[in-house]
Amino acid sequence: MNMLNPILARLNKMPRAALITIGLFFALGTFAPWLAPQDPSTQNLLEAGLGPSAAHWLGTDHLGRDTFSRLIIAANTSLVSVGSVLGAAMTIGILLGTIAGYHRGWVDDLLMRVVDVGLSVPSLIISLAVIGIVGPGYWTMVLALALAWWPMSGRISRAVAVSIMSKPHIEALRVLGASPWRIYFGHLLPGTIGSVMVYATADAGTAALAVATLSFLGLGIQPPTPEWGQMLVDALPYLESDPRQVLLPGLALTAAVIGFNTLGESIALNRIPKPLTRRMLAIRRAEVASWSKENSDA
């Protein structure tokens, strides 16, 4: 419980609505197979395009599939793909970023130049180019998005690694004769991973959006598997007769993205040190003065 307290205290400062939305997204995504009341891919053309009823809470789509179940399963699809994309992107980014931060010199220059180029080109264009070369498919999509996403975590982990490397305990380790491997794996890598993970959660919203966009374009998650972007494009031809099938997946996706964006903003704001007030300055001065007194006593 003691370990949870600082985490809970930090969560308390975050916007409540965003936390609830993200919590709901995670819960739905994790337990989707048990929560969905009906099989998401069972077609029943006799019940196609129905409105909400006791049997189908949010109606059915043009093939008679239960929309409510499909929306829930789509949260699972989204969560799994976002997890694999961010996992792959962070692995590449942290590895290259820490190597650049450890080595400095020309390795650093080269990698950061690549990161600059990667960050200046829209991620959709990078991932589409990769899909165009390798050919469409689920794992191609994950690879393509990871290749478009790693520069961000690469830049952050490089900055964190540089600041860790300039700390006195690394110098002390060097003096003790620790091998580069021990410094890298024992001290640099674990220290970097933690900070980069925090930023990655803020990125999850854009990653979910990218997965949905690729699925909307027909190059991400393929039809029988429900996914919000792909459900939306599926229902688009019936926009006139059945707008609900377009609105519902769009709203679900928008809610998730808003949640992650608000959370990301508050994480970014919490990182900026606030200027000290005069009262706090006075307290700090008194504290520093008492240190010198302790030292003179000793």
Partner 1 sequence: MIHFISKRLKHSLVLLFMASLVCFTLVVSAPGNVAVLIAELRGAVATPGYVEQVEEEIGLNKPLLMRYVDWLGDAVRGDFGISYRTGQDVSADLANRMLVTGTLIAGSAVIATLISLALGFLGAFWPYRLPDRVSRGLALLGASTPTFFVGALMIYAFSVTFQLLPSFGFDGPKSWILPWLTIAVLPAAVLSRVVRVGLEEAMVSPFVLTAKSKGLGRTAILFREALPNITPIFINALGTQVGLMTATAIIVEPLFAWQGVGDYFLAGVRFRDFMVVQACLLIFLTFFIVVNLIVDLAVLLTDPRIRRQWS
Q: Which residues of the chain form contacts with partner 1 (CB under 8 A)?
A: 117, 120-125, 128-129, 131-136, 205, 209, 212-213, 216-219, 229, 232-233, 236, 239-240, 243, 246-247, 250, 253-254, 257-258, 261-262
Which residue's CB is nearer to partner 1, number 196 or number 210? 210
Which residue's CB is nearer to partner 1, number 43 or number 261? 261
Q: String of b and e for 123-149 (b: at least 16 CB within 10 Å)?
A: bbebbbebbeeeeeeeebbbbbbbbbb
Q: What angle do CA 153, 157, 158 make, to 5 degrees?
A: 115
Percentages (nearest 5) of helix, strand, coil residues in the chain: 80, 0, 20
Q: What is the nearest approach in angstroms of partner 1 to the Cβ of residue 121? A: 7
Which residue's CB is nearer to partner 1, number 46 or number 133? 133
With contact defined as beta carbons under 8 Å apart, do 140 and 131 qualify?
yes
Which residue's CB is nearer to partner 1, number 32 or number 253? 253
Q: What is the nearest approach in angstroms of partner 1 to the Cβ of residue 71? A: 14
Which residue's CB is nearer to partner 1, number 55 or number 236? 236
Q: What is the nearest approach in angstroms of partner 1 to the Cβ of residue 130? A: 8
Phi and psi at residue 87, in whole multiples of 5°? -60, -50
Q: What is the nearest approach in angstroms of partner 1 to the Cβ of residue 237? A: 11
Q: What is the nearest approach in angstroms of partner 1 to the Cβ of residue 246? A: 5
**Of 197, 222, 196, nearest in space to 81 by CA:** 222
With contact defined as beta carbons under 8 Å apart, do 245 and 67 qualify?
yes
